[in-house]
Amino acid sequence: MRVAIVGSGAIGLLYGGWLQSAGLDVVFVTRPGRQAALDGATLTAEGRLSFRLRVSAVGDVANAGGFDAIILAVKLYDLASAAAQALPALAPEGALVAVQNGVSAYGILRPLLDPSRLAIGPVFAATRLTGSSSVAYAGADRVTLGNPECKVSPAVDELVRRWTSVGVTAEIVEDIDDVIWTKFLGFATNAALTSLGRLPAGVIYHTPELVEVAKQSIREVASVGRAEGIAITGDAEEMTLKILQSLPPATVASMRQDLDAGKRLELDFISGEIDRLGRKHGLATPLHSLAYRLLQPFREGAPKAA
């Protein structure tokens, strides 16, 4: 089985490394500048399921032949273009798999391919690059995939089997939308609050006044999710707060890291999506609407000085 990993960030390297450890033929697709550093390099992972592998990388997936599965581990703002570039390299029965935190991935991919060849899933591991070909992770070594409309393809079944064979907690679930939205409760909250407050988890989720703000954020996300037909329970809201309070004290969201680095933000797909859905359903989302507007000047990177 041949697999392409589009995206050479920490998640792509980790997921792809696990699959290569399981015996699959894995090719990493990355920008030309990254390709030179990654192709032929020794990829290492630090975490419970560590590995050390010699890997292959290309700059253009279309020139790498046919793939039985292509995993898109890119930011949501790059997902449509990455999928369009990858489709010509997908084998006739191959599957396109998107792994992102957010609730927009399936809607972005659905017009491009028959649903039986699509799978989506959130990200549970907290990952970071520690070098050009090294990654460290903490939290759950878990992969959860599914399709909101139908069963996933045999290619996705095989990916899950291979991840499982090396110790990853991998599964296919029927209620993937519920899983993604439940994850989105904490993901969107952490992105908005650590970016707006410029504070880490250890302060935000352990200061009484800010805990109330976090609860408001979680309620807003849950309300628009329910309006979209997602079965979000009150227990899910409570558990989300407990998870946020259990984060290492220095933790900040990936969007906060991008904000600090002057990079483009996934803002439109996080607080922007909550704002949009709130307006669609006539629901007030004051915290996320404010976050969306205050962070808009940074959406494309650090704004230029006047």
Residues 102-112 have pLDDT tens digits of: 999 999 999 99
According to the model, what pLDDT value does residue 21 have?
96
Q: Are strands 90-99 and 67-72 parallel, antiparallel or unpaired?
A: parallel
Model confidence over 200-220: pLDDT tens digits?
999 999 999 999 999 999 999
Model confidence over 236-262: pLDDT tens digits?
999 999 999 999 899 999 999 999 999
> Do residues 83 and 104 touch, judged by C-beta distance below 8 A?
no
According to the model, what pLDDT value does residue 306 have?
44
More confident residue, 157 or 59: 157
Model confidence over 63-92: pLDDT tens digits?
777 999 999 999 999 999 999 999 999 999
10-14, 123-127, 207-211, 286-290, range with the lowest pLDDT: 123-127
Mean pLDDT of the chain: 94
| d(C-alpha 46, C-alpha 184), whole Å | 26
- Give Cα separations from 281 to 207, 233, 235, 277, 278 (angstroms): 32, 19, 23, 6, 5
Give the whole-number percent of the chain exceeding pLDDT 70: 99
Inform me whether the pLDDT recorded for 292 exceeds 80.
yes
| d(C-alpha 113, C-alpha 10), whole Å | 26
- Give a three-class secondary structure readout of 50-63: CEEEECEEECCHHH
pLDDT band at 305 (very low <50, low <70, confident <90, very high): low
* HSE-up (13 A, CA, CB side) for residue 160: 20
Model confidence over 259-283: pLDDT tens digits?
999 999 999 999 999 999 999 999 9
